Structure 1
Amino acid sequence: MQRNGMPYARAGQVVGLLGGSFDPAHEGHAHISKAAITRLGLDRVWWLVSPGNPLKEKGPAPIADRVSRAKAVMQHPRVQVTDIEQRLGTRYTAETIAKLQIAYPDVRFVWLMGADNLTQFHLWQNWQEIMHRVPVAVFARPGDRISARMSRAARMYRENRLIGRAASLLGQSEAPVWTFINLPMSQSSSTAIRNAGDWTPGTVVGDDDEN
């Protein structure tokens, strides 16, 4: 199903949602997406390029620039870069997911995030609602594994965690359920790219510029 510029998904498909400001998008985002498709058996992954991150004081680059950059970085037939939150008029993840479940009642969604986000997940608005709406997959990044596993969210939902090969069942499981996937992650980060001066809004880079 697809309408009003919204992405396409067939009934019964499992779609991973990777949200963020993507300011800018980088190889680490792409790596999480590809790993999610392989390890979780997802049919598709949608990047939700947000109008702004409520937890950050400084606003991001214009969304059109961030979407263009993301499309240049992530070129995969099963991954789609979107501006869903701007189209839906949502600002927080919980309300975005709620509206997507209404718009796509026959599609199963899985929330994807890096382990660094799990450490501050309890600061997100209505974070427990997110846990109870959709399965969650957490991907380890260098240096974040121990703090993520000790996070408030991980401790509170420790009985709902799928371990090992059971992670492939995540998309068909009923929330609350989550899994933690250890991967040799890229050291790339949006902050490092901005600080290095490698991200100038208004320009579009090719894949070679991500290396």
Structure 2
Amino acid sequence: MRIGLYGGSFNPAHAGHRHVSRMALKRLRLDRVWWLVTPGNPLKDRGELEPLTERLAMAEAVAEDPRIAVTGFETAIGARYTVETLRWLRLRRPNLHFIWIMGADSLASFHRWKRFREIAGLMPIAVIDRPGHTLAAPNAPGARALARWRIDETDAGLLADRPPPAWVFLHGPRSSLSSTALRKRV
């Protein structure tokens, strides 16, 4: 089974998250996408973070696709950083083929994530283009550090079977929706 892992605060979840997931399902030839609703992002202000139960409920309402599973299991396993979650999954689900999914905006700051090189070594990564990040993200420090393992977009369907590190940058229809912008409107 080929599983895309899409982590984030989902504060709030929105149609852009569903758009990214459906694009990943198709382009990466995935069977499922798991939304990993985090207890909190160490690189973001927690002051604006809604309670996990509310974010999970909103994500469930927005997912609208039986191939998208919403989970908040990182709290149960005590994971604070992505690298901890990915280690846990690799250890406990060795027969699944995982791909870490992130937006191009996250790639721009990927070098600031705890043990980002280890993350890249744990599973392949798919980066989904976001408005305003098409040119800058592939030239960010993390992307440059992993440049030699970038595969061509035409091979995206093979990513789940490639040994890490391996990553792809996917272009296509982009959603301009943003949780930050949605919170500012409220």
TM-score, normalised relative to structure 2: 0.97
Q: Distance in 2 between matches of 1:185 and 1:195?
A: 21
What corresponds to 1:61 in structure 2? 50
| Structure having the higher Rg | 1
Deviation at 1:164, TM superposition (A): 2.6
Residue ranges of structure 2 left out of the alignment (5+ in a row)? none
Q: What percentage of aligned pairs have identical amino acids?
A: 45
Mean Cα deviation higher: 116-125 or 55-64? 55-64
What corresponds to 1:76 in structure 2? 65
SS for the counterpart of 2:46 is coil
Instruction: Look up the equivalent residue of 2:16 and give its one-letter code.
Output: G
What corresponds to 1:194 in structure 2? 183
Confirm whether residue 51 of structure 1 aligns to residue 39 of structure 2. Answer: yes
SS for the counterpart of 1:34 is helix
Deviation at 1:57, TM superposition (A): 2.4
Q: Deviations over 1:44-92 (max 9, x none)?
A: 1000000111001234100000000001111111110001201211010
* Pairs within 5 Å for 1:30-45: 30-45=18-33
Of 159, 172, 175, which residue of structure 2 is paired with 1:170? 159
Aligned-CA RMSD value? 0.8
Q: Distance in 2 between matches of 1:183 and 1:113?
A: 14
* Pairs within 5 Å for 1:104-183: 104-183=93-172
What corresponds to 1:88 in structure 2? 77
Q: Moved runs in structure 1, 4+ residues, more than 6 A?
A: none
Residue ranges of structure 1 left out of the alignment (5+ in a row)? 1-12, 198-211
Confirm whether residue 26 of structure 1 aligns to residue 14 of structure 2. Answer: yes
Q: Deviations over 1:147-177 (max 9, x none)?
A: 1011112112111111131111000000000
Instruction: Look up the equivalent residue of 1:82 and give its one-letter code.
Output: T
SS for the counterpart of 1:171 is helix
SS for the counterpart of 1:42 is coil
SS for the counterpart of 1:166 is helix
Q: Distance in 2 between matches of 1:189 and 1:67?
A: 17
Q: Distance in 1 between matches of 2:106 and 2:22?
A: 19
Q: Distance in 1 between matches of 2:73 and 2:2?
A: 17
Q: Distance in 2 between matches of 1:100 and 1:84?
A: 11
Deviation at 1:184, TM superposition (A): 1.9
Q: Deviations over 1:9-49 (max 9, x none)?
A: xxxx1110000110000111111100000000011100000
What corresponds to 1:205 in structure 2? none
What corresponds to 1:202 in structure 2? none
SS for the counterpart of 1:146 is coil
Alignment check: 8 A CA contact 1:118 1:153 kept:
yes
TM-score, normalised relative to structure 1: 0.86
